Amino acid sequence: MDLIIKNGTIITASESYKADVAVKNGKIVMISENVQTEGERVVDAAGKLVLPGAIDAHVHLELPVGGTISADSYESGTRAAACGGTTMIIDFATQEKGMGLVETVQDRLRHIEPQACIDYSFHVAISDLNPEVLEEFEASVRFGIPSFKLYMVYKDMMVDDGEIADALQRSKETGTLIAVHAENPYLIERRTRRLLAEGKTGAWYHYESRPEFVEVDAVRRVVYLAKIFGAPLYIVHLSSREGLDEVTKARDEGLEIYAETCPHYLNLTNEVYKREDGRNFVCSPSIKGEDSRKALWEGLRRGDISTVATDHCPFKSYEKDWGKEDFTKIPNGCMGIENMYPYMLSEASKGSITFNKAVEVCCTNVARIFGCAPQKGTIAVGSDADIVIYDPKKKFVVSSKNMHSDVDYTIWENCVMTGYPVMTFSRGKLVYEEGSFKGNPGWGKFVKRYRK
Ligand code: URP
Ligand code: ZN
Ligand code: ZN
């Protein structure tokens, strides 16, 4: 065997049990009470948890936006991910006007291939929903990309309700999944204009320009369209109680609606925008109030929120400073790629959720919804050996100094984690150990995904 992990407690979405895990050629080949065979590397995981690596289904690495580019490259982003126990990312390949879907992915594959330290896939973020693109959904499926993102906001990217309807109808026909950024751009635009005219330019007004109802209105509309066309729907980065209520109602009716939330919506409230460094927390949707924060946790516990992902899209301090005098000039996006799994597991250590739930929403559901189960997202014979050894007793205080991304600050500064990953394996290869990155760029592979 290449690797044997002995004496640990295996956690899956549905079970917790003591067993040894044996790995050969990147796959889990045996799970048994006492693996007796020889191993090239033997890890004693007594007192530790043995978890599947997380899959972060929402990251923006090297994203060109507003005259700059998000601060983590494919190398630094996947390096940081590995150090936080994430073993696969699904990034966004943004379609330029006139470009095809597969062509868009191929272009990003050329960038990521030499850099990726862990496995990866893409959703295509569609900016030009013309008939040829709708026709190309099938070719995209054959290429291993069965999910597409639509933005209801952002000037150069947004689609209208008619286009969303066309995409949902086509996704129903092709077994693909439409993921939507749900906010109402017209409400945001009017509110922003009014706030600026009144001289209200600080980071707090980012929240005021896109409060709860801006999200709720869009969620309600897109859920209704999904219902009309009988199509599955995935709502990215859900941030509000009322938005969640719409999702819950739809799910109660039996609709295939999935909601994702992010660690920053679970951990923070809009109070952060009143801080001196409030601009560092500017992301869209905005971070909402305490009532929403609590509701998102309830939604996770009862299963109406299916996944947690980071929406990792950081910008450096000097770029965030562009909006010191005007919140609309702050590049939108926060970081979390190294923090998501440790944070969710730390919350499990503290009893907010079970470890099984943390695995369900960070790994297993993600793999199932996006079509890479059971290769990814669980600890099972035949699955990839994407494994995290987690010490539930280890204390860890987050600082930009102990993170592995290329950003010069973190919104997670001074956050105390109860429990922390001590080792990460990507297909059986050690990529992180006790604070240090052990992997290498170019190791990560493209994972073809199939939803049906
Ligand atoms: O503020 C954010 N979330 N920036 C990244 C793009 C998006 O909307 O997901
Ligand atoms: Zn978004
Ligand atoms: Zn995003």
Atom 8 (ligand 1) nearest CA:
284
Residue 369 CA to residue 55 CA, distance in Å, equals: 11
pLDDT on residue 66 = 80
What's the CA-to-centroid distance between 311 and ligand 2, angstroms?
A: 7
Judge whether 365 and 303 are in contact, CB under 8 Å: no
Residue 19 CA to residue 155 CA, distance in Å, equals: 52
Atom 6 (ligand 1) nearest CA:
333
Q: 13, 10, 109, 9: which is closest to 368 by C-alpha?
A: 13
When pLDDT is averaged across residues 73-82 and rounded to a whole number, the result is: 98
What's the CA-to-centroid distance between 331 and ligand 1, angstroms?
A: 9
Residues 248-278: tens digit of each pLDDT: 999 999 999 999 999 999 999 999 999 999 9
Q: Is 283 in the pocket of ligand 1 (CB under 6 A)?
A: yes
Q: 90, 104, 162, 172: which is closest to 133 by C-alpha?
A: 104
Q: pLDDT-derived band of residue 67, with 50, 70 and 90 as boundaries?
A: confident
Residues 240-255: tens digit of each pLDDT: 999 999 999 999 999 9
What's the CA-to-centroid distance between 227 and ligand 3, angstroms?
A: 24
Atom 2 (ligand 1) nearest CA:
333
**Average pLDDT taken over every residue of the chain:** 97
Atom 9 (ligand 1) nearest CA:
311
pLDDT value at 124 more than 90: yes
Judge whether 69 and 271 are in contact, CB under 8 Å: no
- From the alpha carbon of 284, which atom of ligand 1 is closest? 1
Residues 4-33: tens digit of each pLDDT: 999 999 999 999 999 999 999 999 999 999
With a CB cutoff of 8 Å and minimum separation 6, the contacts of 59 are 77, 81, 89, 90, 91, 92, 309, 310, 311, 312, 313, 337
Residues 158-210: tens digit of each pLDDT: 999 999 999 999 999 999 999 999 999 999 999 999 999 999 999 999 999 99
Judge whether 62 and 73 are in contact, CB under 8 Å: yes
Q: Is 94 in the pocket of ligand 1 (CB under 6 A)?
A: no
For the chain, list the domains and their CATH numbers.
3-51+383-394+417-435 (2.30.40.10), 54-370 (3.20.20.140)
Q: Is 286 in the pocket of ligand 1 (CB under 6 A)?
A: no
Atom 4 (ligand 1) nearest CA:
333
Q: Is 284 in the pocket of ligand 1 (CB under 6 A)?
A: yes
* CA quadruple 274, 275, 280, 283: dihedral, nearest 10: -20
